[in-house]
């Protein structure tokens, strides 16, 4: 849960972001449907690190090999487990475009044991829960996941979970405020 206190690092503008990161922030804010995607206007203050992080992040989402639907299930589950409303806000919107309905969103919040999941999605959500809770995935859960995904996607799933868990921690620690849509 993000604190209601002031951001620890204020969102930057042209002077703090520099011309490249300012343009990137503007484009990403428009794409997100907000005047100021505060995640990007904050992280953009880190210079080239921001662009490197964007490249890595973009390779996972939207550029990953997992279906967008599966990707959004992972991200929404991580956001729920970490109480990260910023991630939740954005990925509810993105999830809708990938077929995540209100009913599916409620099941994501309930977890892998909620009725209605396919074996594939039950295994995916169980892996998210274990990796977030224990920093590992046990052999039985891994075998369930491996029954549905090839090696490249298995690696991607682990990286995706950790990327969005780390992002949730970053958002929380920097006290980045939720965007206005």
Q: Where are the domains of the chain?
A: 14-60, 68-174
> Do you find a cis peptide bond into 160, omega within 30 degrees of 0?
no
Q: What is the DSSP string of 75-134?
A: HHHHHHHHT-HHHHHHHHHHHHHTT--HHHHHHHHH-TTSTT--HHHHHHHHHHHHHHHH
Greatest CA separation found in the chain?
Answer: 52
Distance separating alpha carbons of residues 181 and 30, to the nearest angstrom:
10
Average pLDDT of the residues in 37-55? 97
Give pLDDT, residue 4: 59
What is the CATH architecture of 68-174? Up-down Bundle (1.20)
Q: What is the pLDDT of residues 85-133, one digit of tens each?
A: 999 999 999 999 999 999 999 999 999 999 999 999 999 999 999 999 9
Q: Is the pLDDT of residue 2 over 70?
A: no
Q: What is the pLDDT of residues 144-160, one digit of tens each?
A: 999 999 999 999 999 99
| pLDDT over 70 (residue 44) | yes
Radius of gyration of the chain from Cα atoms? 17
* pTM of the complete model: 0.94
């Amino acid at each position: 849960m993000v604190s209601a206190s002031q951001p620890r690092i204020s969102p930057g503008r042209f002077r703090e972001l520099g011309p490249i990161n300012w343009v990137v922030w503007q484009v990403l804010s428009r794409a997100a449907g907000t005047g100021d995607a505060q995640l990007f206007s904050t992280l953009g203050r880190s210079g080239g690190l921001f662009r490197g992080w964007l490249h890595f992040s973009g390779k996972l989402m939207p550029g990953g090999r997992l279906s967008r639907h599966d990707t959004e299930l992972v991200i929404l589950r991580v956001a729920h487990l970490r109480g990260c409303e910023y991630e939740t806000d954005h990925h509810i919107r993105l999830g809708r475009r990938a077929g995540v309905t209100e009913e599916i969103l409620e099941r994501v919040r309930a977890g892998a044991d909620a009725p209605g999941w396919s074996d594939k999605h039950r295994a995916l959500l169980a892996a998210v829960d274990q990796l977030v809770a224990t920093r590992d995935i046990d052999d039985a859960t891994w075998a369930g996941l491996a029954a549905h995904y090839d090696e490249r996607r298995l690696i991607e799933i682990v990286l995706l979970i950790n990327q969005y868990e780390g992002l949730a921690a970053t958002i929380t620690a920097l006290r980045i405020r939720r965007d206005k849509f």
